Amino acid sequence: MRIYRVKNYDAMSRQAANIISAQIILKPDSVLGLATGSTPIGAYRQLIDRYRMGDLDFSGIRSVNLDEYLGLSADDPRSYACFMRKNLFDAINIKPENTFIPDGCATDPTEECARYNQLIRALGGIDLQLLGIGNNGHIGFNEPGDCFAKETHPVRLTENTIAANARFFSSVEEVPKYAISTGIKNIMQAKRILLIASGTAKAEALFSTICGPITPAVPASILQLHENVTIVADEAALALVPDQTEEPL
């Protein structure tokens, strides 16, 4: 596990964009696993800027997103499909047919999960998986529990996650209670994993992820077993972690 301790959110975003950019340049047909939420927005803006300067070409890139709310269509402004278009896809030259997100309006969520698993396999797996981390240690919507969920699955969101995501809705009551999420097996099969974190609210979860036991009570702790994980986090998020970090690129 490689850890980069940076000063603040902007530095985290730049370092994350450096890593993703290198992946795109070295393998122009990469399959990128992408995340949503407020944490990756800065990195996405950095990637957009680099594309506009002519430094990046997304025309051969394929992307698969971690998750989507159940009950929200791809056109709903609160959906993750809309989030990705607004914060990345519409500003770069990635082909729309090469961007994949679970269908939040699937009539049979179980079938949709099986379809998404097969899609990831058909793409040849994920080359670089970008992750954020929840205050409770979730990655994707893999919530704390008694076991690690393996592949894409429907999930009931915890009250902690619903409260954390309420900022994207008019009220906490509007936050969907269910989602589709890729599973721990999907994430762990990625060739490389990049986890980013910022702020004191993530400090306890990040400490447990890096220094604690591997347990489904902290889903991100499973990353200790992956051979190629990079964590980029600011000083506030790493406040509880003993300094074992490397200098940013």
So which residues are the catalytic ones? 67, 136, 138, 143
Please report where in the chains the tokens 């997103």 appear, as a residue.
Answer: 65
**Burial class of 210 by CB neighbour count within 10 A (0 to 12, 13 to 18, 19+):** buried
Q: b/e string for 64-86 if b means 16 or more Cβ within 10 A?
A: bbbbbbbebebeeebbbbbbbbe
CB 1 within 8 A of CB 231: yes
Give the span between the Cα atoms of 150 and 69, in whole angstroms: 19
